[in-house]
Amino acid sequence: MDPKILEMLFIAVSNGVALFIGAYLARRSAELSGDRRAERDESAELTRQRREALLQRLALQRRALDDYARIVVRWSSAPGPGAPHTREEDLAADQESIAVYAQMANAFGSRQFAEQVAATLHAVRAGRGNAQVFPFSVQIVSACYQEMIRAISELEKEIGLPAPRSPARPFLPDEELAKEATRLFSRNVVERSGIDLGMVDQILERVRVNPSSEETESSG
């Protein structure tokens, strides 16, 4: 066979192989690019769905906190003097406590926490007009509020919501706050006991102005 013809055939075959390989590589590259794009789209969709789920959970938690605050205020209202709890009131309170348990378990994902929240409502109700139970109910309700707010703040961080640039700062030193809270609670206990607050204020003022008067009288 003519060498030129062989050369032409070789070139043609080589070009054909090159075209085939090029076409294969191009098709394969497009397939890989499509796969990567599909993976990115799938990942973005999963991220979007997760964010939406977290936002829904955040809405549930915020609503649960608001509902809890309203219930605490309502249950804290002291009944009239000598007014006992009726069976209807007790039944309604039990039903509401069960509803709060379900809401908290769904919003915060913890049955144990939900049980404790429901228990705080019973403590609040028991503390109405009861100076012994009242400070305990205030303490556990405050702890419950703090835990809800902590969980909500952590969820907001996970979602990536911006924190306040100028968050509120404590407006009283801890010692002064504790002192003032004790004074207000003591005044509340005195008021509930039926003692005249004006008379108590006069006695305290007399002691403050002349603290050594009693010692002087006793020494005389």
Mean pLDDT of the region 97-117: 94
Amino acid at 197: L
Is pTM beyond 0.75? Reply is no
Q: Give 128-177 pLDDT, tens digit per residue.
A: 877 778 888 888 998 999 999 999 999 999 999 888 888 888 777 777 76
Mean pLDDT of the chain: 77
Q: What is the pLDDT of residue 114?
A: 95
Q: Give 54-106 pLDDT, tens digit per residue.
A: 999 999 999 999 999 999 988 887 565 455 667 777 788 888 999 999 999 99
Amino acid at 172: L
SS (H, E, C) 118-169: HHHHHHHHHCCCCCCCHHHHHHHHHHHHHHHHHHHHHHHHHHCCCCCCCCCC
Q: What is the pLDDT of residue 216?
A: 46
Query: Can you spell out the DSSP letters for 64-128?
Result: HHHHHHHHHHHHHSPPPTT-PPPHHHHHHHHHHHHHHHHHHHHHHS-HHHHHHHHHHHHHHHHTT
More confident residue, 34 or 190: 34
Q: Which residue has the tokens 């969980």?
A: 151
Q: What is the pLDDT of residue 15?
A: 64
